[in-house]
Amino acid sequence: MTLDPQLRRVTRDNGEIISLTGAEFDLLKAFIERAGRLLSRDQLLDLTQGRDRDPADRSIDVLMSRLRRKLGETAEEPVFRTVRNGGYQLVVPVTAVKSDP
């Protein structure tokens, strides 16, 4: 997959565009910019929505579920890892590509 931050678009290798909401795109972008790091719900809320976490707020969990489904994550091919009481981690390799200005 390719994420284009300028166009706010995610495209599969076959050219198919993955339709993401603004919040889903922001969440995926936060993970890609911090590839391999474990990010807590608090960090993700701050990075994507600029707000502190309410203990009952499950919005990140809902977004993660939708993002996993849209990206086609399976048990055999995980995209994210869930760490109980820790957060989430992007587990696929990320390669940055500079585009010409």
**pLDDT tens digits, 46-87:** 888 876 666 667 889 999 999 999 999 999 999 999 999 899
- Does domain 2-90 match CATH 1.10.10.10? yes
In angstroms, the Cα distances linking 37 to 15, 18, 20, 32, 54 are: 28, 24, 22, 9, 23
Domain boundary assignment for the chain: 2-90
Q: What is the pTM of this model?
A: 0.86
Supply the pLDDT for residue 93. Answer: 87
